[in-house]
Amino acid sequence: MSVVTGPAERSAGPAGLDHFRTLEARQQPTWPDPAALAAATGRLAQAAPIVVPAQADTLTERLAAAGRGEAFLLQGGDCAETFAEANADRIRNKIRTILQMAVVLTHGASTPVVKMGRMAGQYAKPRSSDTETRDGVTLPAYRGDMINGFAFTEQDRTPDPERLEQAYRISSATANVVRAFTQGGFADLRQVHEWNRGFMRNPAYARYEKTADEIDRAIRFMHACGADFDALRSVEFFLSHEALVLDYERAMTRTDQRTGKAYDTSAHFLWIGERTRQLDGAHVDFMSRIANPIGVKLGPGTTPQDALALTERLNPDNLPGRLTFVTRMGAGTVRDVLPAIVEAVTWSGANVTWVTDPMHGNTITSASGYKTRRLTDVLDEVAGFFEVHKRLGTVPGGLHMELTGDDVTEVLGGSEEISDEGLALRYETLVDPRLNHQQSLELAFQVAEMLRA
């Protein structure tokens, strides 16, 4: 835990943007060389933005619609992106998975699905412990490629500010590839539906055939009505990550010429994690001063008072779409803890978009020692989230998932059953387990059924 320090010339930045430097900032790296940090963030402060403020404003409108039940958010991507895997194949696979899920969810929800990647910036992780010990050797914990390397050597594990610039360059390149895939015909609705049909060829997935048939018929109906499918060849796709490393987020913040407001141009949407959402902490202060749409993760220890205080602090103007609460309670807890929070916020009149993260409250260690999750728990938390909102007459606005487009074996279960022994086959995540491509699609089909119900 440390107070973030930075170059003096920015300590009195516009609109108190640097006030966070006087507050406690949890989960920050201990940079060994302050001069190198100042040089790196100074260069970042001059760099071109990754996203522009107008796109962030568009997302605020989309999230407001999700808050009213007129759209549904699908946010997904790696737990921790890595520099090594920021290549076209991996990015394409992830986008394809999200697009496939989105078609199924659009059908289930009968509303537009807002598509958002945990991508192009998800390079920093909060950790339970500052250090890791192996065979009697203790080194700093791996905190994400933006900070240090995964290899267990002193050199790799020492936080290196040059990595902030590398994260910026790789995120910019990723954003470019994302735009190429989502604007260039790859997103064609008919093609995406064909991929889902391919998924159905596996007998294990026959139970989803009815939904696929219905989507088929809907597409043929649209075609018969003369729908312009060429206009559906590109999709809106937004970028997001956890705003954890405040030196990076501050350096990427620019004043918007149109409005004079500050926007963090590292992503359209940023969220504060469960471990850094202290009301008087640096993260909440910094995020209260930027105009992007933002999220806060709420774990099972959240009280209704905590949630209310966050709405007042982070969205004093009560702008719809500005604030999303991403609840991650755990399958066994969501039905007990979530109702009081939703009720209190709803009664206060605060505009909040409610999203479920069914991953982070359901992490377990397998008998074979892997950090994993059960697909059944993930689905159960989503079901609990829908049940609570249905009971209260409030709006379940979306899903926040850790997933990948590849055939990894990190989460237990699924129709192509991944067992405890199977985890070792392709366990590739550097921090938390992700749904693989097939599991992600299965989840989408099951959530579509919940949405229709």
Ligand X SMILES: C=C(OP(=O)(O)O)C(=O)O
Binding site residues for phosphoenolpyruvate, as ranges?
118, 274-275, 297, 328
Beta-bridged to residue 31, according to DSSP, are: none
Of 112 and 126, which CB lies nearer to ligand E4P in the complex structure? 126
Nearest to 357 by CA among 395, 397, 392, 318: 397
What residue is closest to ligand E4P based on CB? 128
Contacts (Cβ under 8 Å, ≥6 apart) of 52: 265
Quick one: what does residue 297 bind among ligand E4P, ligand X, none, with the CB cut-off 5 to 8 Å set by partner type?
Answer: ligand X
Nearest to 450 by CA among 379, 378, 376, 362: 379
- Residues at the binding site are 79, 118, 274-275, 297, 328, 360, 402, 432
Cα(377)–Cα(87) distance, rounded to whole angstroms? 31
- Tell which positions 30-89 bind ligand X, by CB under 6 A: 79
Quick one: what does residue 365 bind among ligand E4P, ligand X, none, with the CB cut-off 5 to 8 Å set by partner type?
Answer: none
Q: Which of 110, 128, 257, 365 binds ligand E4P (CB under 6 A)?
A: 128
Q: In this structure, are strands 353-356 and 364-365 parallel, antiparallel, or unpaired?
A: unpaired
274 lies in the site for ligand X, by CB under 6 A:
yes
432 lies in the site for ligand E4P, by CB under 6 A:
yes
Q: In this structure, are strands 396-402 and 72-77 parallel, antiparallel, or unpaired?
A: parallel
Q: How far is the CB of 153 from ligand E4P (least distance, A)?
A: 19
Per-residue interface string for the shown chain with ligand E4P, residues 323-362, x marking contact by CB under 6 A: -------------------------------------x--
Give the position of tokens 């060849």.
233
- Tell which positions 310-339 bind ligand X, by CB under 6 A: 328
Cα(146)–Cα(386) distance, rounded to whole angstroms? 35
Which DSSP category does 312 fall into? H
241 lies in the site for ligand X, by CB under 6 A:
no
360 lies in the site for ligand X, by CB under 6 A:
yes
126 lies in the site for ligand E4P, by CB under 6 A:
yes
Quick one: what does residue 257 bind among ligand E4P, ligand X, none, with the CB cut-off 5 to 8 Å set by partner type?
Answer: none
Of 43 and 275, which CB lies nearer to ligand X in the complex structure? 275
Stretch touching ligand E4P by CB under 6 A, among 1-9, 126-134, 192-200, 295-303: 126-134
DSSP string covering 152-188: SSHHHHS--THHHHHHHHHHHHHHHHHHHHHHSSTT-
Cα(92)–Cα(168) distance, rounded to whole angstroms? 20
Give the position of tokens 């605020």.
60
Of 57 and 377, which CB lies nearer to ligand X in the complex structure? 377
DSSP-based three-state secondary structure for 284: helix
> Helix, strand, coil shares of the chain as percentages rounded to 5?
45, 15, 40
127 lies in the site for ligand E4P, by CB under 6 A:
yes
Residues in contact with ligand X by CB under 6 A are 79, 126, 242, 273-275, 297, 328, 360
